[in-house]
Amino acid sequence: MRQEEKSQEARRRIAEAAIDCLVELGYHGSSTTRIVERSGMSRGAMQHHFPSKQDLIVGATDILLEGVIRRSEPLLADLEARRIGFPELVERLWKHFIGSRRYQAVLELMNASRTDPELQSRITPTLDRWNRIIDERMARLFSSVSGDPSEVALLMQMTRALLRGLALRDGGPLPPAMVRRMLERWAQLVEPCLSWPAEKENPCRS
């Protein structure tokens, strides 16, 4: 069906324009007019593919987060294959995902969903899915020196929270060098708590 793929391409174009608008103009600056102008489509096209603005935002959210999940597959696979260490994992998580330009759109959506139940009900499952995927992979890669399996998940949640907090900077923009220092320091603090299964055994605390 050639029409099917044309249709999907149109949906994608509009959704990408919406994502760009979220990054550059924020949620409350992203009107349907500006989004459709940036996409190069017509109002009618948008109306056809996304009957309401909610549908548009939700559609853009799905494309955005699905893209995140899809693009994280090869990175995670590479991680497992090369037995990469925790510091490098943190660095990549920052570079490719949470520190990336597109994540600003995710932040906008997460923030907007706090006071928009309908949006929240659509965002939460996808977000949780991504978190679960990463947690599962991590649990396979690392294990806690304390023997508690929930320990790895806890540390991963903390890692995500830290990176999120860095992406949503307060005050002046954090210089990249400062960010790098924090990521390194964090990895340094956490690494002794993790061990590669049946490889090395670092004690977590003296």
Partner DNA sequence: AATAAAACAGTACGCTCTGATTGTTTTTAC
Partner DNA sequence: GTAAAAACAATCAGAGCGTACTGTTTTATT
Nearest residue (CB) to a copy of itself, 141 versus 187: 187
> With contact defined as beta carbons under 8 Å apart, do 62 and 11 qualify?
no
Of these partners, DNA, a copy of itself, none, which one is at the site of residue 96 (CB under 5 to 8 Å by kind)? none
Nearest residue (CB) to DNA, 58 versus 89: 58
Binding mask 46-85 for DNA (x = CB under 7 A): -xxx-xxxx-------------------------------
Q: What is the dihedral of CA 119, 121, 126, 130, to 10 degrees?
A: 110
In one-letter notation, the amino acid at residue 174 is L
Nearest residue (CB) to DNA, 30 versus 143: 30
Of these partners, DNA, a copy of itself, none, which one is at the site of residue 77 (CB under 5 to 8 Å by kind)? none
> With contact defined as beta carbons under 8 Å apart, do 142 and 76 qualify?
no
- Residues in the chain, total: 206
Tally helices (H) and strands (E) across the chain: 9, 2
Nearest residue (CB) to DNA, 29 versus 203: 29
CA distances, 13 to each of 50, 108, 162, 184 (Å): 12, 19, 32, 38
Of these partners, a copy of itself, DNA, none, which one is at the site of residue 70 (CB under 5 to 8 Å by kind)? none
Residues lying near DNA in the complex (CB under 7 A): 1-4, 6-7, 10, 31-34, 41-45, 47-49, 51-54
